[in-house]
Chains A and B, each alone.
Chain A
Amino acid sequence: MSFLGFLISGLSLGSVYAIMALGYTMVYGIAKMLNFAHGDVIMVGGYVIFTLGNTFGLPPFVSILIAVIICTSLGMLIERVAYKPLRSAPPLAVLITAIGVSYLLQNIALLIFGSNTRIFTSVVDLSTISIANGDLTITGETQVTILACVIIMIALTLFIKRTKPGQAMLAVSEDRGAAELMGVNVNATIALTFAIGSALAAIASALLFSTYTTLTSYSGAMPGIKAFVAAVFGGIGSVPGALLGGLLLGVIENLAKGLISSQVADAIVFGVLILVLLIKPTGILGKKIHEKV
């Protein structure tokens, strides 16, 4: 594959990262916690779509819709049971709980679906576009992924800017205490954030596993961590930042994978995270946070 080919598949992977990164960045911005289990919600979405599509033969659109509903409920359930009681706990406790939830989801999936790798059938039914006499091909999955990413970004930006719940989310992320005094229902807003993030996770799972078809109970964890890297890269708490970080990270990872090796690609992705945090901890589009004494 050519350089341009890697670039385009990188943009496709980056779009998936961007959609996943939205879940991380919104939750981090509003609940001030790293939702480790987000990647595993994606895995759950993948299994739901796989089961509905392959076992029950439902059309892709319906199975994605059901996966969105299941993932949204799952995200809200996790928030209610595991995270809400720890609102006032130290960050260490919340992080350990999130890791626990992530492990719990992985192992439940392992018990239900076994350790065999499932091959995901692509939910996209579009033909591949060839450009420049077949030198450059863009698969149907890539087209749909990039399109879906753009639509989600625009919709989410409009939601946050134009609607009341969206404004409430902004207010809570700015100052939770002040928002509460102004009559914003903080708990409902945080639950809404988890719901949106998890719904996006379901869509991301359809796109991710259509391109990378191997599905195991661990296949959500690594993309999840990388999506968090993307969120940090773009600036945590910022929606356009998630898009930018996701795309950049996807391109970097795919170029490294194509030009060097896949072992090194992972190391480079994490190297990016370390560099970003050391040079500009707020990310490319993040706001500076002042530490209060």
Chain B
Amino acid sequence: MKNKRANLKKILLKNNLLLYVIIIVVSAILLLFDQLGFVNHLTSGLFVPLCIYSILAVSLNLTVGILGELSLGHAGFMCIGAFFGAFTSVALVGVIDSGFLRFLIALFVATIATAFFGILIGIPVLRLKGDYLAIVTLAFGEIIKNIANILFVGVDANGIHVASSEKTLQLLEGGRIIIAGPQGISGTKNSFASTFFLGVVLLLITLFVILNLINSRSGRAIMSIRDNRIAAESIGINITKYKLMAFSISAAFAGVAGVLYAHNLSALTAQPKNFGYNMSILILVFVVLGGIGNIKGSIIAAIILTALPEYLRFLQEYRMLIYSIVLIIMMLFNWSPKAKVWKEQHSFKILYHRMINKKKIKEEI
């Protein structure tokens, strides 16, 4: 028994290692090509967004696939991460010279802050389930976006001031406004931070944490809650604790993606386009296409769905249309009774057996 388990662990480890190696090799090749000048501007501009979307998709898959609850507020957590990260990073300009160090501190602050908000929002939200949970996460996402739009934050000798308009900020002489309400944060572009290398490192860290969480005791507890909440509770699993754990870790990595996103822009504003409910749906499309609960699939789907419309310009107009059709078709294909029967009849196993049988019959003749 023990031997078997050890074997299983080895296989899992091997699979995950293979994934890391593939990502490292592919990104190393891309980086090399980029250095040699083989890559055009369009492609190199896609490097960081690909990492951002992959991190978002992987982290949302933790909530949707592993915890089994639909969150429509993932962009809200990304927004929190982006604003905390950009604020820290811009506020430290002049205090710390190294751009890289500023980014690291911003990343640290933003991740902690997003995880904290994940717990704060998770406590009420996770008491609900199903459709209600989905709509409440949507509500929280919209509230976060709206608050980010009316928030004014400035820094002066006395410290940080927060207000809802520029006048009430009451900054001292020499103080500066960092978050300017609807204008957001400007000067966030950080060439040290928005590199492909760092993006890949963050993606690998995300994968490492989430894959190890899934294969750990806690991960199994989370999945048992997904499969049968009452049974899980009856064997003594602390439902609230594990749900919160999954939700806040998922939120924290959305925050990481947000930090990367903020530093890749020259100015950060909270718009419906980037932090609204549409963005949450976009991430959900990655998760659904890649397979709910399949972490590797999420990355592949994120890469395909982000890169493809950029290269196929004529698709650009139909991009969202295709996404919506992907959502519907995937669900119908996975769950409708007719599709299930069709899949059973056309599975590889059965097709293989049919082929073998035909050969046998031919040989007999």
Q: How far is the CB of A133 from chain B (nearest CB, A)?
A: 35
Are A86 and B331 in contact (CB-based, < 8 A)? Answer: yes
A96 and B281 alpha carbons, distance in the complex (Å): 9
A121 and B284 alpha carbons, distance in the complex (Å): 37
Are A266 and B134 in contact (CB-based, < 8 A)? Answer: no
- A11 at interface by CB-CB < 8 Å: no
Are A277 and B327 in contact (CB-based, < 8 A)? Answer: no
* B237-252 residues at the A interface, CB under 8 angstroms: none
Chain B residues at the A interface, C-beta cutoff of 8 Å:
64, 68, 70, 72, 124, 127-128, 130-132, 134-136, 138-140, 142-143, 146-147, 149-150, 230, 281, 284, 288, 292, 317-318, 320-321, 323-328, 330-332, 334-339
Chain A residues at the B interface, C-beta cutoff of 8 Å:
28, 33-34, 82, 85-86, 88-97, 99-104, 106-108, 110-111, 225, 228-229, 232, 261, 263-264, 266-267, 270-271, 273-274, 277-278, 281, 293
Are A100 and B328 in contact (CB-based, < 8 A)? Answer: yes
Are B140 and A270 in contact (CB-based, < 8 A)? Answer: yes
Which chain A positions have C-beta within 8 A of B130? 91-92, 95
Which chain A positions have C-beta within 8 A of B149? 263
Are B127 and A278 in contact (CB-based, < 8 A)? Answer: yes
**CB contact between A267 and one of B147, B288, B292 (< 8 Å): that residue:** B147
Which chain B positions have C-beta within 8 A of A261? 150
Q: How far is the CB of B69 from chain A (nearest CB, A)?
A: 8
A34 and B133 alpha carbons, distance in the complex (Å): 12
**CB contact between B335 and one of A93, A101, A225, A270 (< 8 Å): that residue:** A93
Are A96 and B136 in contact (CB-based, < 8 A)? Answer: no
Q: How far is the CB of B321 from chain A (nearest CB, A)?
A: 4
A89-B335, A232-B132, A270-B142 are known contacts; what are 15 more A-B pairs with Cβ within 8 Å?
A: A33-B131, A34-B131, A82-B328, A85-B339, A93-B335, A95-B134, A97-B331, A97-B332, A99-B72, A103-B324, A106-B324, A110-B320, A232-B135, A267-B147, A278-B127
A261 and B320 alpha carbons, distance in the complex (Å): 31
B150's nearest neighbour on chain A, judged by CB, is A263
Are A267 and B146 in contact (CB-based, < 8 A)? Answer: yes
Are B146 and A264 in contact (CB-based, < 8 A)? Answer: yes
6 CB < 8 A contacts A-B: A34-B131, A92-B292, A96-B70, A100-B325, A271-B139, A273-B136
Q: Which 5 A-B pairs have the closest CB atoms?
A: A100-B327, A85-B336, A103-B324, A270-B139, A89-B335
Are A264 and B150 in contact (CB-based, < 8 A)? Answer: yes
Are A107 and B135 in contact (CB-based, < 8 A)? Answer: no
Are A99 and B327 in contact (CB-based, < 8 A)? Answer: yes
Which chain B positions have C-beta within 8 A of A93? 331, 334-335
A12 and B324 alpha carbons, distance in the complex (Å): 33
Are B328 and A101 in contact (CB-based, < 8 A)? Answer: yes
Which chain A positions have C-beta within 8 A of B135? 34, 225, 228-229, 232, 273
A34's nearest neighbour on chain B, judged by CB, is B131
Q: How far is the CB of A37 from chain B (nearest CB, A)?
A: 10
Are A96 and B284 in contact (CB-based, < 8 A)? Answer: yes
A278 and B126 alpha carbons, distance in the complex (Å): 10
Are A281 and B132 in contact (CB-based, < 8 A)? Answer: yes
Which chain B positions have C-beta within 8 A of A107? 318, 320-321, 324
Q: How far is the CB of B95 from chain A (nearest CB, A)?
A: 32
A87 and B104 alpha carbons, distance in the complex (Å): 49
Are A85 and B338 in contact (CB-based, < 8 A)? Answer: yes
